C-alpha cells in the first residue's frame, strides 16, 4: 500500500517501522500544519492515511481525507464528541473511516472479557466496578479512550450502571482513576469488589508495537470498503 502518515510522533514512527518491514511504502508524512501547506496535495495519491495526532487535530485531518477520497484509519482519541457528525459525513459522502480507541488484538479480546464479566455480574448487585488506567506523562486526554470504551461497554452490558465519573462514584456510576507516570504504554485494570471478595481483570501493553500493527491491519482491511468501521468488524466480536 501507498501510505500517508498523518502525525509522526510516537505512534506514527512505530507504524512506519512495521509498514516498512511489511514492504509497504510511506509516500507522505504530515506532522504539522506547515506540512499540509507544503505537501498536502499528495494525499490524493495514497491508498490510505493513518492518523495518530491530537484530539483537536483529528477532525480536520479526517475531513481532509474525505475530501481527497482517501480511506482514513484514525487512532487519535479524544474527539468522539463529534463522532456522529463525522460518521454521518462519511456515510452520506460514501467515504471510508476506520477508527478505534485501541488497535491491539489483546485489548480487543480484553474488551470482550469486560463485556461478558459486566453481563455476568448484573445479577449480583453486591459487586461494584472501578477502573484504573495508567499511561505515560505525555498523553493529552484522560480518561484514556480505551478506558471510556471499557466503561461504556460495562454500561451497555449491565443495567445497574449508567455513567462513569472521575470523582467519588454515586449509585450507578463507574469510577475511573487516570494515572500519568513514566513511559507506561497503557495499562487498564477493572476491579469488581464486594464485601467478601473481588474480581480483577488487567490488560498491560508491553509497548506500542501491537497498536501500530493493528492500525496497519486495519489499513489493509479497509481497502475497497466504504463506510464506518472499527475493530469489531475485523475481529468478528
Ligand X SMILES: NC(=O)c1ccc[n+]([C@@H]2O[C@H](COP(=O)([O-])OP(=O)(O)OC[C@H]3O[C@@H](n4cnc5c(N)ncnc54)[C@H](O)[C@@H]3O)[C@@H](O)[C@H]2O)c1
What is the smallest separation between the CB atom of 82 and ligand X, expressed in angstroms?
A: 14
Which is catalytic among the residues 17, 39, 136, 139?
139
Active site residue 135: yes
What is the smallest separation between the CB atom of 146 and ligand X, expressed in angstroms?
A: 8
Residue nearest to ligand X (CB): 9
Binding site for ligand X (CB under 6 A): 6-12, 30-33, 52-55, 57, 61, 75-78, 100-103, 138-139, 141, 211
| Residue (31 or 220) nearer to ligand X, CB | 31
| Residue (78 or 129) nearer to ligand X, CB | 78
What is the smallest separation between the CB atom of 55 and ligand X, expressed in angstroms?
A: 6
Active site residue 163: no
Q: List the one residue out of 225, 221, 224 whose CA is nearest residue 234.
A: 221
Which is catalytic among the residues 24, 95, 135, 188?
135
What is the smallest separation between the CB atom of 119 and ligand X, expressed in angstroms?
A: 25
| Residue (71 or 78) nearer to ligand X, CB | 78
| Residue (54 or 132) nearer to ligand X, CB | 54
Question: Catalytic amino acids?
Answer: 135, 139
Amino acid at each position: 500500500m501507498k501510505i500517508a502518515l498523518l502525525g509522526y510522533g510516537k505512534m506514527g514512527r512505530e507504524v512506519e517501522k512495521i509498514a516498512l518491514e511489511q514492504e509497504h511504502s510511506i509516500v507522505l508524512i504530515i506532522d504539522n500544519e506547515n506540512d499540509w501547506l507544503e505537501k498536502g496535495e499528495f494525499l490524493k495519491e495514497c491508498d490510505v492515511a493513518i492518523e495518530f495526532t491530537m484530539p483537536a487535530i483529528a477532525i480536520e485531518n479526517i475531513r481532509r481525507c474525505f475530501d481527497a477520497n482517501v480511506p482514513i484509519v484514525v487512532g487519535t482519541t479524544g474527539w468522539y464528541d463529534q463522532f456522529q457528525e463525522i460518521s454521518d459525513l462519511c456515510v452520506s459522502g460514501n467515504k471510508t473511516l476506520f477508527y478505534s480507541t485501541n488497535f491491539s488484538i489483546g485489548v480487543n479480546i480484553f474488551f470482550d472479557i469486560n463485556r461478558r464479566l459486566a453481563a455476568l455480574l448484573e445479577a449480583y448487585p453486591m459487586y461494584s466496578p472501578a477502573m484504573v488506567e495508567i499511561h505515560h506523562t505525555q498523553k493529552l486526554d484522560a480518561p484514556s479512550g480505551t478506558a471510556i470504551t471499557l466503561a461504556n461497554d460495562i454500561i451497555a452490558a449491565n443495567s445497574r450502571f449508567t455513567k462513569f465519573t472521575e470523582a467519588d462514584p454515586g449509585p450507578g456510576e463507574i469510577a475511573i482513576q487516570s494515572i500519568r507516570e513514566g513511559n507506561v504504554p497503557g495499562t487498564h485494570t477493572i476491579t469488581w469488589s464486594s464485601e467478601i471478595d473481588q474480581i480483577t481483570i488487567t490488560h498491560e501493553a508491553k509497548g506500542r508495537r501491537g497498536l501500530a500493527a493493528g492500525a496497519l491491519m486495519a489499513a489493509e482491511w479497509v481497502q475497497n470498503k466504504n463506510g464506518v468501521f472499527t475493530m469489531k468488524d475485523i475481529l468478528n466480536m
